[in-house]
Amino acid sequence: MDIREGLKLKPAFLLVTFRKISSDNNGKFRLKPTLTAGQISANNTGITGKVVDSVSKAPIAGSVQVALEQPDSSGVDRIVMQSVADSNGNFNFCPLPTGTFDIVVVGIGPANVPYNATTVLNVPNGTNLGAIPLIAEAGATAPAIFQGFVTATNGAAAGTIDVSLSALQTVASGATTIQITIPLQTIPATTTSPEVDSTGLVSVSASTSCPTGAPAKANCAQYTLVVPASNPSVGAFLSSGITYSTPATGDVLFTVDARAAMPMSGGTPDCTPPEQTTAKDSTAAPLKALPATTTNVAEIDFSSCT
């Protein structure tokens, strides 16, 4: 039974009272903070749109993730709401607080063909975006996969933390550039390969999985991020219409962002510093996404964790 059936709450409040729950590799459950009642108020507006294939103009027969984002204090776009487009490609974020938002969309179509990320910048509340095109990655048989380790120490002892992981790409908006968060995906199983899930939240609470070269006495955890293997298409909102750029050719570069929090705290920062990023792979080369390929990410080591 849907848990909401037993709660006599108005739909507007469901968006502000529930938190995402993820389970770690040890079977424990961790809370991941989302929007709170202080960040959103009910209204009759929102942001809607329809995601389509750029060539056929039809909905994508697969999984389409849509993220609503706003910049944090450092200017990085963070996901504040996330949804899945329906079978007709439609999505609807409502209610919303006043202000402007960025929309980031990714998709995986039939036969696990990946699509690029498409983002629409500076979208005001109350907007119907119409058709948002996603471009299929020609010749690709699956998205890219990043795998890496995070470790935690507390002086000479092991540290125990929860770590939220994000995959960031850079897009240009006029003369400025911003980093957007790419919604994480799942590669469906096929007759020859298993399902691959993204693990955007991991518990660093045991030393059994530590790789060679990890800090002494550290706890460690491995993560997996499924992402597009192409550069984003970008459109800026204009009342006269939106024109989407052609994704840039060349290397598809990513940054992995990791934020440490005290376990079961709802997101209270931990460690010094509590946030780290890496744009390198395990060989110290730039972190590139390649279709249907697993790339190992440079290890992220947290210290001074409580």
Would residue 241 count as lying in a domain?
Answer: yes
pLDDT of residue 29: 43
pLDDT of residue 103: 98
How many whole angstroms separate alpha carbon 108 and alpha carbon 2?
Answer: 27
Residue 6 domain flag = no
Examine residue 7 and state whether it is found in any structural domain, yes or no. Answer: no
Say if 269 falls within a structural domain. Answer: yes
pLDDT tens string 177-193:
999 999 999 999 999 89
Band (141; pLDDT cuts 50, 70, 90): very high
* In contact, 125 and 99? CB cutoff 8 Å: yes
What's the mean per-residue pLDDT of the chain?
88
| 297, part of any domain | yes
In the chain, the number of structural domains is 1
Look at residue 235 and tell me if it is in a domain: yes
pLDDT at residue number 238: 87
Q: At residue 14, what are phi and psi to the nearest 5 degrees?
A: -60, -30
Total-model pTM: 0.85
Q: Residue 4: inside a domain, yes or no?
A: no
The token pair at 264 is 């079961």
How far out from the chain centre does Cα 98 lie?
A: 23
Query: Does residue 156 lie within any of the structural domains?
Result: yes
